[in-house]
Amino acid sequence: MNEHESTDTTANISRTIGTGTATFIVVANMIGAGIFTTSGIMASKLPGPGWVLLCWLLGGLIAMAGALSYAELATRMPVEGGEYIYLKRLYHPALGFLTGWTSFFIGFSVPIAASAMAFSEYIFAGLKTHLPGLDPSQIILMKKSTALFLILVFTTIHYLGIRIGSWIQNILTVLKIVIVVGLAGAGIALSGGTHIPVFDFQAGGPFTGLAFGTAMMLVMFSYSGWNASSYIAGELKNPRKTLPVSLVLGTSIVTVLYLALNLFIFQSLPYSETKDIIPIIEKASTQTFGNWMGNSMGLLISIALLSSLSAYVLIGPRVYFAMAKDRLFFPFAAKVHPKYKVPGRSILIQGVIAIIMVIIGSFEQLLVYIGFALNIFPWLAVAGLFIARKQGIGEKNAFKVWGYPYVPLFFLATSLFLMVINYLNRPLESTAAVLTVLVGIPCYFLRVKGLRRKGNDK
């Protein structure tokens, strides 16, 4: 055992995170690779830019409905762990275990790997003019090495304590917001005279419900993270106030920024020139600001991606910590560092898994793999809100979701539709995600059986 790691599996993490940091964590989790890559893919499926903008607006409304629902769940049960706590108390410990199991392998470790790989993709796109003479295999090796180094850096930062981690998280999120706001604001102002019809719904091609559902699937991936501060409820100052404010304010900020970025894209480029363009921000920037700024956008976006990676590293171990305290996860996850007061071993093991994902997978494979799994447990958690109200589970003075029951019902209906679309479009990857979840079932019962055997032996 590491001599610097506490052996107290009942240790509590202190409440030191305020509203500002909690809001920044929500923003940082949501704004990631998705917004910088998906609008061009959506343009290839929808007949006009108006439909793309409608998708982003609808996605924001769905995320807001989820955030409001989670605000009530999290203030009813204001401890670290997120969906693990809600599903364990509202349904059965097995479901709580499965959400933590999924988070360990899919929900956080894979996004950490994907964010690190996205960072390396963008930064090398920005440096491409400064790297002549390198063959593709050398570039791939350099990208992978950069991603691995980045994971090591942020794993170390968050291992060294919540104060330094929160401070760096806040700085990175402010930088991200400045970059996105500056880009969108300047882009809209400078491209506003082009008279490109950004609200055109009939620019070309037929409209189909399946294509719209596919586009929404991409949008909701980009909005994932709206529930981020609920995972660290046990570390928030005054969670009854901090949680609702951080979830609603963070989601609102991101929705406005996403719409602004897409207005910039479709004011800058004719719709026909946006289709299937993955580095869409770079192309729009080149059109609006010139070649130098277009090339520089890769570097700026890579900086913006750092706060997402940092937020994933920060939040994930809190889920494993909550599970391990209940003896439903590997015991190492409950170890709190005596000096830094963080779940140190969870942070380190999560980093190791993310590194393995970088080594064995590609960026696209990782995104497809997590798409379906990310929606299963939030859907169950929001459905559990009706159980919580009926049975009076949790604190009575909790925040009450606005517009109940219509707001949570809206989230449940739209999320279920998108999961069906996701499965129909990518059955292989979605099945792989489901199988990852199902493998956790025998692991849960083996863990419970082992605990019972230990109890009988005493």
Q: pLDDT digit string (tens) for 29-75?
A: 788 777 887 888 888 888 888 889 999 999 999 999 999 999 899 88
* pLDDT category of residue 379 using cuts at 50, 70 and 90: very high
Placement of tokens 């937020």 in the chain: 311
* pLDDT category of residue 222 using cuts at 50, 70 and 90: confident
Residue 2 confidence (pLDDT) above 50? no
The strand pairing partners of 17, in sequence order, are: 236
The pLDDT, as a whole number, for residue 314 is 82
The strand pairing partners of 236, in sequence order, are: 17
CA–CA gap between residue 197 and residue 201 (Å, rounded): 9
Q: What is the mean pLDDT of residues 351-377?
A: 78
Domains, the chain, in order of start with CATH, read: 19-457 (1.20.1740.10)
Which tens digit of pLDDT belongs to each residue from 291-346? 777 667 767 777 777 877 887 888 778 777 877 777 777 777 778 877 877 888 88
Q: Of 106, 351, 331, 343, whose CA–CA distance to 235 is shortest?
A: 343
Are the C-beta atoms of residues 24 and 169 closer than 8 Å to each other?
yes
The pLDDT, as a whole number, for residue 436 is 86
Q: What is the mean pLDDT of residues 224-235?
A: 78
Average pLDDT, the chain: 80
Are the C-beta atoms of residues 377 and 83 closer than 8 Å to each other?
yes
Residue 7 confidence (pLDDT) above 60? no
* pLDDT category of residue 183 using cuts at 50, 70 and 90: confident
The pLDDT, as a whole number, for residue 6 is 43
Q: Of 138, 151, 142, whose CA–CA distance to 123 is shortest?
A: 142
Please give the model's pTM, rounded to 2 decimal places.
0.78
* pLDDT category of residue 196 using cuts at 50, 70 and 90: low
Q: What is the mean pLDDT of residues 241-262?
A: 89
Higher pLDDT among residues 165 and 403, named by residue: 403
* pLDDT category of residue 249 using cuts at 50, 70 and 90: very high
